[in-house]
Amino acid sequence: MVETESRRDIRKLKAEELKEFFVQHGEKAFRAQQVYEWLWNKSAKSFDQMTNLSVSLRDMLKTHFVINHIKVDHMQRSSDGTIKNAVTLHDGMVVESVLIPAEKRITACVSSQVGCSLACKFCATARLKRQRNLSPDEIYDQVVAIKEQSELFYNRPLTNIVFMGMGEPLLNYANVMSAIEKITSQKGLNMASKRITVSTVGLAKMIIKMADDGVKFNLAVSLHAALDKTRSSIMPINDTNSLAELGESLKYWYHKTKRKVTYEYVVWKGINDNEEHARALLKFAQIIPSKVNLIEYNPIDDGEFQQASEESIRMYMDLLERHGITTRVRKSRGKDIDAACGQLANKS
């Protein structure tokens, strides 16, 4: 057996490259299609699972390739049914993913990077140095793991995927798009694009690129303030991606895709819990058709950020809905296991 280090990860090969490999080794080209189906449709974790291939052919694949699938090393279950996974990658690095059950849906919240480079002050993941981007197969594997948990623990299918875990998806654009292609393809998991949401802090150039690329999934923007001074103080990325630039990119997004955007917005005590901020959000939300999720804040131990009062949340709700902006308060799930929005930091 060739050492692992000298064997290629077979999932890095495109279908055409797989076909070339088989032909070069005196095998029928259709074997590539069989293997591709095992990898991306049936989510095989080993060559031994590929039972329609001969033992000798499987042994040849083992000689040349590995399947660097993730391992769910630690699973925590919340009192509300949420499941948090500590996912170990092939190089020993760890990310987290979350299964979020609801009455009519089960959602997989997946990570796109090990750590994050954006330094949002209210987010636990931002305190971790960004180590590297996840590969398409590492993203795909998180979805598969949660799909299996959904069927095992809830006897229900996985219905939705959100890229709201660790990392900024648009800073790992090519790999995230490749993973979504595998997840939505009929030759892959065959999930509907409209059931997938990619969340970004608002990288204007990348939002424009997504629109130009004709993506079919949903876009969410982690906004949290619609006044530049406040947003820059809590999200440093706003210094180089101002609200004006973001607004222009979202106009372009809607012009090209005709898809609403969802704004994720936490109201914090003493930071953005007044009418000035609420009116700024209303103005920003009116740039294109949109909806707003007012998100319950999940503390990350330092006390600097505290959940605003119910009165402040109601003020936001009343103002936005009075002006026709669909708004809902999103209660966080999995807080008791640090699985809620902003809490993912490899504590498990």
| DSSP tally for the chain: helices H, then strands E | 10, 14
What is the DSSP annotation of 117-158? Answer: SS--TT-SGGGSPP-EEPPHHHHHHHHHHHHHHHHHHHSS--
The tokens describing 262, both together, are 């969802």
Angle at 262 between CA 258 and CA 265, to 5 degrees: 155
Q: ∠ CA 43-210-244 to the nearest 5 degrees?
A: 140
Q: Are 334 and 84 in contact (CB under 8 A)?
A: yes
Of 96, 138, 168, 264, catalytic: 96
Q: Distance (Å, rounded) from C-alpha 14 to C-alpha 33?
A: 11
Q: Is 20 a catalytic residue?
A: no
Compute, in degrees rounded to 10, the torsion defined by CA atoms 170, 252, 225, 330.
-70
Nearest CA among 188, 258, 199 for reference residue 36: 188
123 labelled catalytic: no
Q: Out of 109, 116, 123, 341, which one is annotated catalytic?
A: 341
CA distance 16 to 64: 17
Q: Between the CA atoms of 316, 321, 327 and 330, what dihedral angle is there, to the nearest 10 degrees?
A: 50
- Judging by beta carbons within 10 Å of its beta carbon (0-12, 13-18, 19+), is residue 165 exposed, middle or buried? buried
Ramachandran category for residue 78: left, alpha or beta (phi over 0 → left; psi -120 to 50 → alpha): beta
Q: Kindly provide the b/e burial profile for residues 140-156, where b requires at least 16 CB atoms within 10 angstroms of the residue's own CB.
A: bbbbbbbbebbeeeeee
CB 268 within 8 A of CB 302: no
- Provide the residue type at 294 as one letter: L
Catalytic residue ranges: 96, 341
